[in-house]
Amino acid sequence: MKTWEEMEKVQPLASRIITNSIQKDRISHAYLIQGARGTGKREIAQLLAKGLFCEQKTGIEPCNACNMCKRIDSRNHPDVHWIEPEGQSIKIEQVRRLQKEFTYSGLESDQKVYIIQSAELLTLNAANRILKFLEEPNKKTTAIMLTENSQAIIATIRSRCQVIDLQPLSPTLFYEILVESGVSEGNAVFMRALTNDLNEATRLLSDDWFAEARKLVVQLVEMFAINPDDVYLFIHRHWLAHFKDREQHEQGLDLLLLAFRDVLYFHIGNEAAIVCFQAGDERLERLAMHFSQEQLAIILQQLLQAKRSIKQNVHPTLVMEQLTLQIQR
């Protein structure tokens, strides 16, 4: 999505609000752009920055070819600063570094843009520092904050920004985009259930780690039904060896959710919604005989609880052991 025309197909309302302000030369000094992964937050920030710096705009559209556009794309533009979390948060030192940079004058003009990714991860100190920055709006400075959850951002910052809400990509649109880009229909159905970020989907589909993860998940679900006594060993030998950091554990649990949900869908005859198994897969019948609908509903709850525990930094070994006990019960 490198033009407003393309962006408008995915985010019509947000595109109209922003392009209107570009046309009227009334760009806000601070934006807070909220949307799920893959909805175009970064692309909108880049389009906004190009709107301010591109040397060969056609109307509101950036040329995507001039030196300015290219430097913005490669994140090498000296007056467009990106801040992203270092570790689990965005720290005050990062904001201090940015503000120091801003005391130098710009390359061609005094125009400056800073883009904060995952702004919900600003520490309170860092957020307060940003707030002071926003309170003395310099006409030539544009802040663009990107977040998946604007409620996690302090209200005093929110109230000083123009808040732009992005719509989630519709699963149908996402499925079409995937198939058009050469993904098989089966994989597109699977990916549509997992994400609505095209980059993420293509990355996962070509990732050996992920392919192995998909296999382990199906193996584990089957093992619960067929060899429940071996599950504990399987978790220690294979699962914990494969899923290592917190993000991987969350992904593993997401996949388990999909696989157990497939069994539930099989029960209720909604085979079109099955994603991890193939429709008509004999294994589903066996699994459906083992797990009742009531059990499956409880297991899905337990998986969500396990995901919350991982998010809260409970040790993954503990989470998986507890989950195993719960499902075996």
**How many CB atoms neighbour CB 144 within 10 A?**
26
Residue 33 CA: distances (Å) to CA of 79, 119, 151, 169, 296:
20, 10, 12, 15, 37
In angstroms, what is the minimal distance from the CB of 72 to Zn ion?
8
**CA pair distance 148, 72, nearest whole angstrom:** 23
Site map (CB under 5 A) of Zn ion, residues 1-40, x = contact: ----------------------------------------
Q: Are 144 and 116 in contact (CB under 8 A)?
A: yes
**CA pair distance 41, 313, nearest whole angstrom:** 27
In angstroms, what is the minimal distance from the CB of 275 to Zn ion?
41
In angstroms, what is the minimal distance from the CB of 50 to Zn ion?
6
Closer residue to Zn ion (CB): 144 or 218: 144
Interface segment toward Zn ion; rule CB under 5 A; list 46-54, 151-159, 161-169, 225-233: 46-54
Closer residue to Zn ion (CB): 54 or 188: 54
In angstroms, what is the minimal distance from the CB of 71 to Zn ion?
10
Give residues 58-97 in contact with Zn ion (rule: CB under 5 A).
62-63, 66, 69
In angstroms, what is the minimal distance from the CB of 51 to Zn ion?
10
Q: Which of 33, 52, 54, 161 binds Zn ion (CB under 5 A)?
A: 54
261 sits in which H/E element: helix 246-267
**CA pair distance 253, 302, nearest whole angstrom:** 10
Q: Are 6 and 43 in contact (CB under 8 A)?
A: no
Interacting residues toward Zn ion by CB under 5 A: 54, 62-63, 66, 69
